[in-house]
Amino acid sequence: MKLRLAVLALAITGYCYAQQGMEEMWDKSSMAKEHPNIQWFKEAKFGLFIHWGLYSQLAGTWDGKHYYGSGEWIMHQAKIPVNRYREVAGSFNPVNFNADEWAQLAKDAGIKYMVITAKHHEGFSMFDSRVTDFDIMDATPYKKDPMKALAAATRKRGIQFGFYYSQFQDWYEPNGGRNTWDFDESKKDYQQYYRQKAIPQLKELLTNYGPLGIVWFDTPGGMTKEQTQAFIDELRVLQPQSLFSSRVGQGLGDYKDFGDSEVPPVPIKGAWESIYTHNDSWGYIAHDMNFKSAHEIIRLLSNVASKGGNLMLNVGPDGKGNIPYYSIKYLKETGVWLQKNGESIYASTAGWIPAQPWGVTTSKPGKLFLHVWDRPENELLLVPGFSNAITKVYALTDKKPLSFQQRDGDLIVNMNALPETHTPDKVLVVEYKGTPPAYNAAAPVTVSAQYAANNVEAIFAKTGGASKIESLTYSHYFGDWKHTTCVTGMQSPEDAATFTVRIADPGDYKLILEYACPQESAKQEGRLEVDGETYMFRTLRTSEFDKSAPLLFIKHPVTIFRAKKAGVYTIRVSPYRQGKELFKLKGMIAEPLK
Ligand code: FHN
């Protein structure tokens, strides 16, 4: 027993170290100094992103060819010459655009801020600009400024309004970034582009549309850190209250944006945002129907909130000004859930208990919100690491008190009194006394027989030898980025990934490794060690690692492990011999067998 405790203590110390490293890795570009107006943003939690431009009119098709992925990149993908792209404006007439309907949808969805593309990489201005005639007033039959109406309608409903502005990429301008099919790159003068278009237009946006909550920059380029700071300073004076996104570049900006479709796996301090699009494209594509259901949006939102951030979800209206049917439907359904459960999301901070097999947590002073995605079969919800004195536990929607017990640092809530519901996220509230403990990254990952499967993610591995934890980025469709945290670099027997789990219910568990394994890694032997036993396996081939292609993961059942008693176990996964990287390990799944 003593030996086991010592081993556990060592494992926890090592794990802690690795975990600290991870937080730093994720947190490295968080903002040094807080903007005085950051509080509204920190409390907002849910934003609506809108990509709308000439690409919306093309809807993913050019010259009879269909494009997939980021529809707003169609000019770049199809290498459409500037003079032909300009013709698209001639038929852009969004007569169905209704600022009040869009703003009301945002309100109904529980949105607290909206950011819309004033100018995307295509270079077209969706607002009335004196800087260019390639704008909605001069180049289209619409001849109105939709941004004026939208800014007013949004603010009227108490929603912060902001603009996306592509400050470097501008494929319409000879000196703008990244149109190399019309313009010779070696002749580009980016400073001239900044002086003649980007800065004057940003000044228009910061002057003519009332107070902006956010200026959302994207894909920086062509400026040093000093130049970026000067650019910020020049704009800042116009609206000192407005927040600038971190994609202004060079580690500057007022809050951090993660990569597209990326949620950090651990809580991150400071103000930050995850950005997702509702389907596979930011700009409208008529043939993209891969919309996230309300269920998926709600879990994504609570997951992002459980790490301490905001979710800004994008929709892509079409060229007539209609928001896609399923975006409206699922946003409204999300709003219905938020109306009843908003207290657990808005103005919350990261939960101090790591993800559990049942879901995630968010917190407020004196309250911990349990977001129960999956209900335990025996109705007894285990919340580990909860020693504070509890005053009450209840379901957020009906405030009905629930019985609970506290035992050896565990809280066990009895959900029996709650009717079966089909909600994606049943929120329970725990009211407690005293100061909450810090997020315990070193806590063993809970594995329980009460759920169909228990995911033990790579982020919770202690890495040994040359193995390390990395976030891998790859894409499905063009620009449709995905991010998966994996243990990588496992080439020799010392390069192990060790998981510390707490098995709450004794019994048999199928241990499944989830990994990606390119051809050169396939057919190598690995071993999984647990409780003094070694289980051998041979790796199965999945896909090559190529940033611009899907990374495929396989769920490879390795063994059945009998946990004779409840308790803490370490599970070590390593290559059997020196060789190529064994695989990119996404994690382990413990599936109870009954
Ligand atoms: O290239 C853009 C893309 O089109 C889209 O606007 C996203 C949204 O975050 N930002 C860029 C890529 O990161």
Are residues 199 and 82 part of one domain? yes
Task: Find out whether the beta carbon of 70 lies less than 6 Å from any atom of ligand 1.
Answer: yes
Residue 398 is assigned to a structural domain of this protein: yes
Q: How confident is the model at residue 440 (pLDDT cuts 50, 70, 90)?
A: confident
Instruction: Out of 322, 344, 366, pick the residue that ends a domain.
Output: 344
Q: How far is the CA of 218 from the centre of ligand 1 (A)?
A: 7
Residue 23 is assigned to a structural domain of this protein: no
Instruction: Out of 371, 406, 441, pick the residue that ends a domain.
Output: 441
Task: Find out whether the beta carbon of 259 lies less than 6 Å from any atom of ligand 1.
Answer: no
Are residues 226 and 133 part of one domain? yes
Pocket test for ligand 1, best of 257, 260, 272 (most atoms within 8 A of CB): 260
Residue 491 is assigned to a structural domain of this protein: yes
Task: Find out whether the beta carbon of 165 lies less than 6 Å from any atom of ligand 1.
Answer: no
Task: Find out whether the beta carbon of 344 lies less than 6 Å from any atom of ligand 1.
Answer: no
Per-residue confidence (pLDDT) for residue 31, from 0 to 100: 62
Q: How far is the CA of 286 from the centre of ligand 1 (A)?
A: 19
Task: Find out whether the beta carbon of 218 lies less than 6 Å from any atom of ligand 1.
Answer: yes
d(CA 404, CA 390): 9
Q: How far is the CA of 380 from the centre of ligand 1 (A)?
A: 43
Per-residue confidence (pLDDT) for residue 32, from 0 to 100: 67
Identify whether the C-beta of residue 204 lies closer than 8 Å to the C-beta of residue 215: no
Per-residue confidence (pLDDT) for residue 454, from 0 to 100: 98
Task: Find out whether the beta carbon of 116 lies less than 6 Å from any atom of ligand 1.
Answer: no
Task: Find out whether the beta carbon of 262 lies less than 6 Å from any atom of ligand 1.
Answer: no
Are residues 152 and 83 part of one domain? yes
Q: How far is the CA of 224 from the centre of ligand 1 (A)?
A: 21
Q: How far is the CA of 275 from the centre of ligand 1 (A)?
A: 9
Per-residue confidence (pLDDT) for residue 24, from 0 to 100: 52
d(CA 44, CA 405): 34
Q: How confident is the model at residue 504 (pLDDT cuts 50, 70, 90)?
A: very high
Are residues 208 and 76 part of one domain? yes
Q: What CA–CA distances, in Å, run from 420 to 128, 141, 397?
A: 53, 54, 14
Task: Find out whether the beta carbon of 260 lies less than 6 Å from any atom of ligand 1.
Answer: yes
Bridge-partner residues for 260, per DSSP? Answer: 275
Are residues 209 and 66 part of one domain? yes
Are residues 221 and 178 part of one domain? yes
Identify whether the C-beta of residue 151 lies closer than 8 Å to the C-beta of residue 161: yes
pLDDT, mean of residues 363-370: 98
Task: Find out whether the beta carbon of 115 lies less than 6 Å from any atom of ligand 1.
Answer: no
Residue 14 is assigned to a structural domain of this protein: no
Q: How confident is the model at residue 442 (pLDDT cuts 50, 70, 90)?
A: confident
Task: Find out whether the beta carbon of 394 lies less than 6 Å from any atom of ligand 1.
Answer: no
Q: How far is the CA of 400 from the centre of ligand 1 (A)?
A: 44
Can you tell me which atom of ligand 1 is nearest the CA of 164?
A: 6
Residue 533: φ, ψ to 5°: -110, 150
Per-residue confidence (pLDDT) for residue 317, from 0 to 100: 99
Residue 29 is assigned to a structural domain of this protein: no
d(CA 433, CA 460): 29
Percent of the chain residues topping a pLDDT of 90: 93
Per-residue confidence (pLDDT) for residue 172, from 0 to 100: 98
Strand pairing report for 359-364 and 367-372: antiparallel
Q: How far is the CA of 559 from the centre of ligand 1 (A)?
A: 43
Strands of 465-563 (E only): list them: 468-475, 481-488, 497-503, 507-516, 525-530, 533-538, 554-563
Give per-residue pLDDT as tens, 391-427. 999 999 999 899 999 999 999 999 999 998 889 999 9
Give residues with Cβ within 8 angstroms of 435, minimum separation 6. none
Percent of the chain residues topping a pLDDT of 70: 95
Number of domains in the chain: 3
Task: Find out whether the beta carbon of 122 lies less than 6 Å from any atom of ligand 1.
Answer: no
Give per-residue pLDDT as tens, 243-277. 999 999 999 999 999 999 999 999 999 999 999 99
Give per-residue pLDDT as tens, 43-63. 999 999 999 999 999 999 999
Are residues 317 and 226 part of one domain? yes
Q: How far is the CA of 416 from the centre of ligand 1 (A)?
A: 46
Task: Find out whether the beta carbon of 275 lies less than 6 Å from any atom of ligand 1.
Answer: yes
d(CA 381, CA 143): 58
Q: How far is the CA of 95 from the centre of ligand 1 (A)?
A: 26
Q: How confident is the model at residue 112 (pLDDT cuts 50, 70, 90)?
A: very high
d(CA 280, CA 315): 10
Q: How far is the CA of 408 from the centre of ligand 1 (A)?
A: 48
* Pair of tokens at residue 294: 């309300």
- The average confidence (pLDDT) of the chain is 94
325-341 and 99-109 helices, crossing angle to 10°: 40
Q: How confident is the model at residue 104 (pLDDT cuts 50, 70, 90)?
A: very high
Are residues 327 and 360 part of one domain? no
Residue 441's SS3 state is coil
Kindly tell me if the per-residue pLDDT of 512 is higher than 60. yes
Give per-residue pLDDT as tens, 454-479. 999 999 999 999 999 999 999 999 99
Per-residue confidence (pLDDT) for residue 441, from 0 to 100: 83
Can you tell me which atom of ligand 1 is nearest the CA of 73?
A: 4
Q: How far is the CA of 478 from the centre of ligand 1 (A)?
A: 11
Are residues 465 and 423 part of one domain? no
Q: How far is the CA of 167 from the centre of ligand 1 (A)?
A: 12
pLDDT, mean of residues 508-527: 98
Residue 362 is assigned to a structural domain of this protein: yes
- For residue 137, the domain's CATH number is 3.20.20.80
Nearest CA to ligand 1 atom 1: 219
Query: Which of 49, 152, 153 minimizes the C-alpha distance to 100?
Result: 153
Kindly tell me if the per-residue pLDDT of 298 is higher than 60. yes
Query: Which of 317, 315, 277, 278 minimizes the C-alpha distance to 59?
Result: 317
Instruction: Out of 441, 465, 492, pick the residue that ends a domain.
Output: 441
Q: Is the sign of the CA dihedral 122, 127, 129, 135 positive or negative? A: positive
Nearest CA to ligand 1 atom 7: 260
Kindly tell me if the per-residue pLDDT of 12 is higher than 90. no
Bridge-partner residues for 513, per DSSP? Answer: 556, 588
Strands of 51-93 (E only): list them: 61-62, 65-66
Spacing of C-alpha 310 from chain mean position? 9
Nearest CA to ligand 1 atom 5: 282
Are residues 313 and 194 part of one domain? yes
Which of 4-13, 233-242, 312-321, 451-460 has the weakest average pLDDT?
4-13
Are residues 272 and 168 part of one domain? yes
Could you please report the per-residue DSSP string of 106-143? HHHHT--EEEEEEE-TT--BSS--SS-SSBTTTSSS--
Q: Which residue segment(s) compose the domain that 389 sits in?
A: 351-441
d(CA 528, CA 26): 29
Pocket test for ligand 1, best of 50, 171, 218 (most atoms within 8 A of CB): 218
Q: How far is the CA of 418 from the centre of ligand 1 (A)?
A: 43
Query: What is the b/e burial string over 31-40, where b = at least 16 CB atoms within 10 angstroms of the residue's CB?
Result: beeebeeeee
Residue 241 is assigned to a structural domain of this protein: yes
- For residue 486, the domain's CATH number is 2.60.120.260
Are residues 226 and 358 part of one domain? no
Q: How far is the CA of 357 from the centre of ligand 1 (A)?
A: 33
Residue 155's SS3 state is helix
Residue 447 is assigned to a structural domain of this protein: no
Task: Find out whether the beta carbon of 469 lies less than 6 Å from any atom of ligand 1.
Answer: no
